[in-house]
Amino acid sequence: MIEPTLEEIAASSAATAAPTPRKAPHTSWRRVLSDSFRYFDPRREVRHPVMFVVWVFFVFLAVLTAFPRAFPDVAATYSAGYYFALTVILFLTLWFGHLAEAIAEARGRAQAESLRQIRSGMRARQLLPDQTTHWVPSDALHIGDLVVIEASEVVPLDGDVVHGAALIDESMMTGESAPAIRESGGDRTSVLGGTRIVQGTVTVRISASVGHSFLDRLIGLVENAGREPTPNELALGVLLASLTAVLLVVIVTFADLAGPSGVVTISVATILALFVALMPTTIGALLPAIGISGINRVAKANVIAKSGTAIEAAGDLDVLILDKTGTITVGNRLAVQFIPAPGVDPSELASAALLSSSLDD
């Protein structure tokens, strides 16, 4: 087989270098609903003081509604329909907050799953010592194995080109829109698992085992992105907890509304409902979801954020320094005009431009 030269590969790159499409992330709504109910666990609720208070009131009101005879002091103001309606409202207040958080986390899992689909069911053409090839699952490859990869095929694992040259679409891994030339015998031999061969045929020696490739590390970053509260979230959480404590003191004073006989003239359910209405429950319920959604939002732009703190810090940036421009440009740079220096023939300029660009990526 005659291998293409670098010039032949570069000459046809404009027509064949289409970016690899990524499947849209799929959100499992069944798991979202399951998680939204699982988050009622008090061990999880206690992490968010404001919503934990709502959870305590919900449990208390639910018990009061189900077993009113166990609380004779509220018998004078008890109304089954009224208490049941308030219990449902408190339940929905908690559940919608849990649902928002579950959706945000599910989208993060979907981003990781879309990356994992790149390698799902992938097979590779392994080169045997007798120079024959046979197809094997990519998970069966080991460090040092040789694989032959042709045009339109995906590199199974990280490795180094030992024979041939090819044009490789690395946009999904590096953000570089322009395909990169990878060849044997130079300083451009490294290839990444999950990238696609646009043109050419190469023999690659595997240099990373399954679970330790660049793609695996990328998936790990997406899945393990920090969910710890950011400094702003912590400060806001303290403020919300303080407001809740102040409101609790105010509501406790309603005990003075007891009549001469000691019977409360205003229902307990009404007091709890008033307290929940005054509490900043909306902000408290959505804080976790907002933090997770920030990480997922930048992931849609192919930016991996390891924590919400990094996203908040990025919002304060005025100047961004990059080590290369390929990650922010489309890679389709074209000269629109050639202006020769005084005394230089235009044909000589054209020849020099051709020679200087013959090996461009």
Residues 6+ apart with CB under 8 A from 286: 97, 100
- According to DSSP, residue 193 is labeled T
Contacts with 225 (C-beta within 8 Å, 6 or more apart), sequence order: 108, 295, 304, 305, 306, 307
The structure tokens 């060849």 sit at 183
Active site residue 169: no
Q: Where are the extended beta strands (E) located within the chain? A: 123-127, 133-137, 146-149, 159-169, 180-183, 190-191, 196-206
- φ, ψ (nearest 5 deg) of residue 154: -105, 140
DSSP-based three-state secondary structure for 203? strand
> Residue 71 contacts by C-beta under 8 Å, 6 or more apart in sequence?
64
**146: phi then psi, degrees, rounded to nearest 5:** -105, 135
Length of the chain: 361
Helix (H) or strand (E) holding 89: helix 80-116
From the candidates 316, 323, 360, 361, which is the catalytic residue?
A: 323
Q: Phi/psi of residue 294, each to 5°?
A: -60, -40
Q: How many CB atoms lie within 10 A of CB 29?
A: 11
Q: Are 198 and 16 in contact (CB under 8 A)?
A: yes
Do 43 and 55 form a contact (C-beta atoms < 8 A)? no
Strand partners, 201: 165
Give the C-alpha separation, 163 to 185, whole Å: 8
CB 118 within 8 A of CB 213: no
Catalytic residue numbers read 323
